[in-house]
Chains A and B, each alone.
Chain A
Amino acid sequence: MLESIAELRATGNLAAINALVPYAQVVGFELQRDDQGLLTVLRFREHNIGNFVVRTIHGGVVGALLEHAAVMLLMVETDVAVVPRIVNVSIDYLRPCRTTDTFARGQIIRQGRTVANVRVTAWQEDPGRLVAAAHAHFLLT
């Protein structure tokens, strides 16, 4: 496993890195790379609905997207040898999350030997209108 993360990182195969996490396939997370770096996408799927009356995505999935984006950022952009373990997360829900794809991008604020601090934001059609934001700490050992 330790070798495989380093190997996968070297190949740059984002889909293979994402595929290490079964939960990511079930809810519908995908990884992309663009000119600003790693982008984590939550594809809209009917089973992610939380509010069935006004049809918005479950806050738990939105939180999971932010956490997954942070973990994947650490796995792709740093030289960690293990899957980073979350210590804590604080999620702000800013706008209702509609029935369309949701995008998340993280930023490593500080990376020490043991712990990393990551901030993540999420949006849907308009990157200027955030639907959620989070900051989280991860254990890297």
Chain B
Amino acid sequence: MDPCRWPLHTAPDLSRVVQAFANIPHSRLLGLRLDEIRHGSAAMSVPYDERLIGNPNTRVLHSGVVTALLDTLCGLVVMSAVPDGTPLATLDLRIDYLRPAAPDETICAWAECYKVTNSIAFARGSAFHRTRDDAIAHCTGTFMLGGAGFTTDPSKAPAGPGAAGGIAETGGQPC
């Protein structure tokens, strides 16, 4: 499915999206890896890490790790599918945990941005160990475009740290 319906020259430079991902402090804390990215879809993974255990009985990673993985991934696929530098903010994220993740195994994820309108983008994805047809979790996310939020283009963001007051308070988490 190709959500790209604008002139090709406005498609984002994926190297900037990759760079933006590399600079996210929380992604580094969790050890998120961006394995593949195209315009409108991407793959990401997080290696097993005992520090991130959520259930001491089962040694399964905390659901928040999967939430952060899918939130980051859905944000990136939207960023890769909208015109270069468009700011975006997460409006909502719905996750179904289909089965427990296995301890000691890397969690992979894949997502696509399947619809872009003037102000909203829709993404969906899943988390799994080895194959996408044996999913651990499914997710759908909705993102607000424009206004304030995360952007790969510094000239379109509020100026520098401490300028967070420039974010429009119309809702959403600048992802």
A interface with B by C-beta (< 8 Å): 1, 20-24, 26-27, 46-65, 67-68, 82-83, 85-99, 131-132
Contacts and interface: CB of A to CB of B under 8 A. Distances in A.
Nearest to A89: B95
5 contacts: A59-B93, A60-B69, A85-B55, A87-B96, A88-B97
A52 B23 contact: yes
A91 B163 CA distance: 26
B24 A50 contact: yes
A90 B92 CA distance: 7
Secondary structure type dominating chain B contacts: mixed
A44 B163 CA distance: 18
Size category of the binding interface on chain B: 35 or more
Secondary structure type dominating chain A contacts: mixed
A87 B97 contact: yes
A54 B158 contact: yes
A62 to B, nearest CB: 6
A67 B47 CA distance: 21
B56 A83 contact: yes
Contact of B167 (A50, A54, A68): A54
Contacts of B26: 47-50, 57-58, 60-61
B85 to A, nearest CB: 12
A88 B94 contact: yes
A92 B52 contact: no
B54 to A, nearest CB: 5
Given A21-B62, A64-B63, A86-B97, 4 more contacts: A47-B25, A53-B161, A59-B68, A88-B95
A97 B64 contact: no
Interface stretch (B6-14, B33-41, B116-124, B149-157): B149-157
A63 B151 contact: no
Contact of B90 (A59, A82, A90): A59
